[in-house]
Structure 1
Amino acid sequence: MEADTKSDTARTESRFMSVVRHDLPASLVVFLIAVPLSLGIAVASGAPLAAGLIAAVVGGVVAGFLGGSAVQVSGPAAGLSLVVADLVLTYGWRATCMITLLAGVLQLLLGLFRVARAALAVSPAVVHGMLAGVGAVIALSQLHIVLGGSPQRSAIENLVELPQQIIHNHNHAVFVGLLTIAVLVGSARLPQRLRIVPAPLAALLVASVTAGVFGWDVTRVDLSQSLSEWSTPVWPRGDWHAVLGAAMLVALLAGVESLLCSVATDKLHNGKRADLDRELTAQGLANMVTGALGGLPVAGVVVRSAANARAGARSHWSAILHGGWILVLTVCLGWTIRLIPMEALAALLVFIGVQMINMGHLRNLRGHGEVRVYVITMAGVVLLGLAEGVLFGLGLAALSALRRLTWITVRARPEPDGRWHVLIGGSLTFLGVPKLTSELQAIPSGAGVQLDLNIDFMDNAAFEAVHAWRQEHERGGGTVDIDEVHDEWYAMAASGARMFPAKTPPRAPERWWLPWAHRRRQPVPEGPRPLTRHTPAAGSPAVPDLLAGAREFHRRTAPLVRPFLRAMARGQEPSHLFITCADSRVVPSLITASGPGDLFTVRNIGNLVPRRGSASPDDSVAAAIEYATETLNIQTITVCGHSGCGAMAALLSGGEKASYMPALDRWLRHGNHSLARFIAGESDGADDGPLDRLCRVNVIQQLENLRTYPEVDRLVREGHLQLVGLYFDIGTARVHVLEKPPVTASPL
């Protein structure tokens, strides 16, 4: 059988053209951004300048070729600069390279054991707080270089020394630094179409050219010296426990940053989703290579990855090519780098550090109550150090999560009949006992109590607190009826049965109120259903849906309502007569949050109440009114209309929409009084058009029609019966109370 070489060749040519059209231009954009950032991060890390370029090349080529993310770009990361700077001070540069290599080995093992997704369990508040703290430290230290001075040993010392630097230093270095920052800030304010050159490169170009033209006395980047001093990594001297701990810290920080970057980058393109385990393995191999070659640690970087995606990259070839461009620049055009002032690199780092304090993260975290974690992590990094700040943040995040998991809700309120209703929800542990006992002790002695336990866990301390209160309350003459909604934790503990070892998983949320079509994940037609003929299609799901709904009722709902229905089995005692439209979108029990036995319901097309003695009487509605008022002794009659009513649309059409349905045509004549009231009145501007106004007017007219029944009129005049008009706006799912005249709506 002959192979299809023609199609293989076509696919190869297609991939090649995609790389040329999309990845090649994107690689040039990322290259122009990566070079100044790599040099700046090397300065902030206290490493040779060449180390930043080596890491950029290795991150682009090795991590790009082997990684699991399509458009992620790896290289030296500003978030690791504090760790590297501390390692350089403690062990020296060559030993730091060995620690980077060991960190790569750890990342490789973690990736092979497929534990990458575990890194996503780290709270984003800790990660963002760590990066913000690192950014603050970098900005404070490099600002001294911009001002012509030298950075101090800690962020606090840098902050204290800053006023003196500002007052006394006014040399050429300050001008270069301020010019660089001005270009960076100005570039960010330019329209997107004018940002032809990336802001970091533009800032360094302007600073370098200006310093050269005016002959300013600045410190130049010396790349040749750092290249000549290259040597192999050496084993760090000192306690091997500390060395291993440093390698683990670098591995975890770089790994978490890379994986979070992969997840964030996936949102920026429509290509293949990232393989996190493969990405972590590639990051490990890249760190082994960069450590062996004398480069900085490598991690996935959000700024370069986002720029790569926005530039149109489609595959990993963009990251690989960007690494190749940096290698060509370093080997062939290294002399151009020596034109860059060191003060300009420091100013670039100040700008990067400030950008790392992203206030947008605070807004996102505020809604989840995690701002404290962010602030504590950031403060810990600035005041104590990176590892200490991260540990503080992780500890606070764990405590916050524990607090949420063990938070309980206790609501106790008196009922009109003198009994108390108590609802306890959440996970009942010893941490919630103080709040639990405080609320329970506030219930008066001798009162009848209905205690609803909607809990997914109860430990022994919580059980003893509830049980002791119940015994004491019952000894005082009160009664306690306990109903466990979720699981019988209390009943099992009281009987001495073996308890569950852990929290029970929550039940799937009840979805009884969803339409069948939504449960089948099929679209539901929008707007009111027209009064037209409808023939069920072959294989219609109507009957299976109905039977499936009955089975769901038996399985989920029946056990919950059976005790109430058993008590009502011999008779009903509703307090409301509810007259509403037959429209399928109006569900009385749903919009009134009522249960079995609450509403005596009459439904018809248009929620019409024929006037007593009308030309075409309707005994069905009249019989329901008589039975409700004379036998059931109801207290309220409610007429509920709704928006987009098809019956009212037929009335507005002059009967044309119902002309082919004689029974419906005769029935709609009971709405003529509503139509006459509509014509005689005027809109007050609160409605959404003629149909909406007629739907509201119709409700008021039906309330007046009810007064034509002598028993209803008598009960209303004596104050024993109340008539209420409701209007259900389907589009907004709001119920309004209608008042007359004129027809106005007040939302509930």
Structure 2
Amino acid sequence: MFDSHTEETSMNLETLKSTLPRDAMASVVVFLVALPLCMGVAIASGMPPAKGLITGIIGGLVVGWLAGAPLQVSGPAAGLAVLVFELVRQHGIAMLGPILLLAGLIQLLAGRLRLGCWFRVTAPAVVYGMLAGIGILIILSQLHVMLDASPQASGLTNLQAFPAALLDALPFGEGSGWSAGLLGLLTIGTMWLWDKRKPARLRFLPGALLGVSLATLVSLVFSMDVHRVEVPANLGDAIDWVQPADLLRLLTEPSLLIAALTLAFIASAETLLSAAAVDRMHQGPRADFDRELTSQGIGNMLCGLLGALPMTGVIVRSSANVQAGAVTRLSAVLHGLWLLAFVLLLTAVLQSIPVASLAGVLVYTGVKLVDLKALRGLGRYGRMPMFVYAATALAIVCTDLLTGVMIGFALTLAKLAWRASRLKISLVYDEDGRTAELRMVGSATFLKVPELSRVLATVRPGTQLHVPLDHLNYIDHACMELLDEWSAASAANGSELVLEPRAVKRRLEGRLRTTVGIGGATA
């Protein structure tokens, strides 16, 4: 299915011997990062933690082996948690598998049709705004989970319900969520402190694992009565095979088809943006975006068949992989193997983890998704990108993910349309009044035909009118036809039109006498 690449799956023994130690060490680091995130993302998505672990295992063993970005690690992503939560709430857990199966098929076809580059044609302001909106929604929902309470259906309702949930969780309230909240805060504090103060020799240890481990230990020592992770003793019990009746329903309900398209687009965009970022972190083989998209499609189809969570390429695990010294795709594959072994052999350990601690990991992750540095970076290109960022994020929080992204796209297109319609027109005569220059700067489209027509109407009879085109970004047929019509109509009064498609040096400086400006200052 895949073409030959610089680094192929059939590695010779010498290469394997030289890279295995570094890849094995990196795989352990990635495994430690992925373990709490797989379960935390599942909980944030309204799904059992085992579903996230299944996705992480497939992301390593299958997608890691087929990936077009060798050092990228795939698994359940916080960026999809909000979308999955909404899909599960609207259509039920049973329909997530068919939706994901179709979304994976769309990704597979897109990769085989070499459409990978087009999934990356997304304005950065929309992408960063989408991630910020998702981050805010994750924070608002997981604050409830940190208190051993159930999150609400939307961001605004989560925000409105939080004061009551907090009061109920206090020691003098009706609930006992205060102890769960303390474990969540302990996890967040540990992650923050480790990010700021971690020793260089121990930088490979992930803060999420340390935070969850510490919170679990404290909860066991003090016998805290908090909600803990529910993982079946047999991983096979967490598999929900897609049912033919659900597939039939998928093909007959337009809303489900739209959900699959939305999931495919967002997952693909996040994957390929992550792959591009990973490419900047190392000097090894560059990512093949079409192959990466194809492998993601295969992975998501498998996840759909098994009723697991959707996957993307994820930047947190991928950056940990690169920083830990990974050389080949074997690191991603091994991390999936470690996940599988841990789930099969140490289920009791997973069952002792407080849910509030995993919620703390997601709250910390959500804060990082609201990237203010990205917002400041967009400010270098003017206020409009910053406005698109803020509007996209706010719309996602107030409505839903798809609506927010569409609003971001609409604002971006409106900005392009506004810029495309800008045209400065000025008519400049030389000293003797017999020669003039029609200067146009910007884009000459049909929208500017009325203004251009008004300027042409002021040209004096007997004028030789020069029209340089070198300052135009674009001129359409409507404007060219208007110039041709003016030339034909003005020939009778001695006027002449001279088009200058290349930059022609005009020596009118110092002899300019009269200027008629329309649509802005003279060019």
Q: CA deviation at 1:143?
A: 1.0
Aligned-partner Cα distance in 1 for 2:486–2:155: 55
Separation in structure 1 between the aligned mates of residue 340 and residue 127 of structure 2, nearest angstrom: 31
Q: Is the 8 A contact 1:451 1:481 kept in 2?
A: no
AA aligned opposite 1:324: L
2:218 to 210, 214, 228: 210
Change beyond 3 A, Cα 1:169–1:18:
same
Q: Kindly provide the amino acid, as one letter, of the partner of residue 114 in structure 1.
A: R
Aligned-partner SS, 2:440? strand
CA shift for structure 1 position 103: 1.7
Letter of the 1:426 counterpart: G
Q: 1:128 to 1:437 in 2, by over 3 A?
A: farther
Q: Does 1:379 align with 2:387?
A: no
Which residue matches 2:475?
458
Q: Does residue 1:293 correspond to 2:306, yes or no?
A: yes
CA 1:49–1:191 in 2, change beyond 3 Å: closer, same or farther?
A: closer
Q: Is the 8 A contact 1:94 1:232 kept in 2?
A: no
Worse-matched range after superposition: 40-49 or 364-373: 364-373
Contact 2:147 / 2:166 at 8 angstroms: preserved in 1? Answer: yes
- Unaligned 5+ segments in structure 1 are 1-10, 488-556, 568-574, 576-748
Q: Distance in 2 between matches of 1:442 and 1:184?
A: 71
Corresponding letter in the other structure for 2:55:
A
Kindly state the Cα deviation for residue 345 of structure 1 after the two structures are TM-superposed. Answer: 1.0
- Per-residue CA deviation, residues 299-320 of structure 1 (Å, 9 max, x unaligned), is 1111111111111111110100
Which secondary structure does the structure 1 equivalent of 2:68 belong to?
coil
Who is 1:337 aligned against? 350
- Please state how far the C-alpha of 1:212 moved relative to its aligned partner: 1.7
**Max Rg structure:** 1
Q: Following the alignment from structure 2 to structure 1, what is the Cα–Cα distance between the partners of residues 162 and 241? A: 38
Residue 428 of structure 1 corresponds to: 444
Kindly indicate whether residue 344 of structure 2 is the aligned counterpart of residue 328 of structure 1. no
Q: Which residue of 1 aligns with 2:411?
A: 396
Q: What is the CA-CA distance between 1:149 and the residue it aligns to?
A: 3.6
Structure in which a larger fraction of residues adopt helix: 2
Please say if residues 233 and 347 of structure 2, whose CA atoms lie closer than 8 Å, have aligned partners that are also in contact: no
**Aligned partners of 1:416, 1:192: CA distance in 2, in Å?**
76
Q: Secondary structure at the match of 1:150?
A: coil
Query: Are 1:178 and 2:185 matched, yes or no?
Result: yes
C-alpha displacement of 1:25: 0.9
Change (3 A) 1:209 1:168: same
* 1:365 maps to amino acid: L
Residues 245-278 of structure 1, C-alpha deviations (whole Å, 9 max, x = no match): 2222222221222122222211111111111111
- What residue in structure 1 maps to residue 521 of structure 2? none
Q: How far apart, CA to CA, are the structure 1 residues paired with 2:454 and 2:154?
A: 48
**Match of residue 600 from structure 1:** none
Equivalent positions of 1:557-596 (< 5 A) are 560=504
Counterpart AA for 1:119: F
8 Å Cα contact 1:453-1:482 kept in structure 2: no
2:216 pairs with 1:199:
no
- Structure 1 counterpart of 2:295: 282
Q: How does 1:263-662 map to 2 (within 5 A)?
A: 263-369=276-382, 370-410=385-425, 423-433=439-449, 452-454=468-470, 455=472, 457-459=474-476, 461-463=478-480, 484-486=499-501, 560=504
How many residues are treated as equivalent by the alignment? 482
Alpha-carbon distance, 1:148 to partner:
4.6
Residues 54 and 294 of structure 1 are in contact (CA less than 8 Å); yes or no, is this contact kept in structure 2? Answer: no
Q: CA deviation at 1:356?
A: 0.8
Q: TM-score, normalised by structure 1?
A: 0.59
Shift of 1:474: 11
Does 1:48 find its partner at 2:64? no
Between the aligned partners of 2:429 and 2:199, the Cα distance in structure 1 is 63
Listed as ranges, the matches of 1:96-111 within 5 Å are 96-111=96-111
Q: Hey, what's the Cα distance between the residues in 1 that align with 2:195 and 2:482?
A: 61
Against the structure 1 CA distance between its residues 204 and 449, is the aligned structure 2 distance closer, same or farther, given a 3 Å change threshold? same
The alignment status of 1:69 with 2:84, answered yes or no, reads no
Q: Deviations over 1:504-523 (max 9, x none)?
A: xxxxxxxxxxxxxxxxxxxx
2:186 and 2:428 map into 1 onto residues whose CA distance is: 67
Superimposed CA distance per residue, residues 435-463 of structure 1 (whole angstroms, 9 cap, x where no aligned partner): 65788899999999865443354345545
Kept in 1, the 8 Å contact 2:98–2:304? The answer is yes
Q: Is the 8 A contact 2:461 2:495 kept in 1?
A: no
In structure 2, which of residues 216, 234, 242 is the aligned counterpart of residue 233 of structure 1?
242
Return the offset for 1:464: 7.0
**Structure 1 residue identity aligned to 2:399:** L
Q: How far, CA to CA, are the matches of 1:334 and 1:297 in structure 2? A: 23
Q: Would the aligned equivalents of 1:50 and 1:226 in 2 still touch at CA under 8 Å? A: no
Unaligned runs of 5+ in 2: 1-10, 171-177, 511-523
Q: Is the 8 A contact 1:451 1:480 kept in 2?
A: no
Match of 1:224 among 232, 237, 248: 232
TM-aligned CA distance change 1:409 to 1:29, over 3 Å: farther
CA distance, structure 2, for counterparts of residue 299 and residue 72 of structure 1: 10
Equivalent residue number for residue 36 of structure 2: 36
Q: Secondary structure at the match of 1:223?
A: coil
Query: Relative to 1, partners in 2 of residues 1:376 and 1:444: Cα closer, same or farther, differing over 3 Å?
Result: farther
State how far apart, in whole Å, the 1-side matches of 2:454 and 2:41 are: 56
CA contact (8 A) 2:73 2:332 kept: yes
Q: Is the 8 A contact 2:467 2:500 kept in 1?
A: no
Contact 1:60/1:319 (<8 A) preserved: yes
- Alignment of 1:257 with 2:270, yes or no, is yes
Distance 1:18 1:438, change over 3 A: farther
Amino acid at match of 1:311: A
Q: What does the per-residue CA deviation read over 1:99-153, in whole Å, with 9 as the maximum and x for residues that have no partner?
A: 2122222222222222222212222322222121111111111112224543222
C-alpha distance after superposition, 1:484-508 (max 9, x if no partner): 3337xxxxxxxxxxxxxxxxxxxxx
Whole-angstrom distance in 2 between the partners of 1:102 and 1:114: 18
- The one-letter amino acid of 1:89's match is R
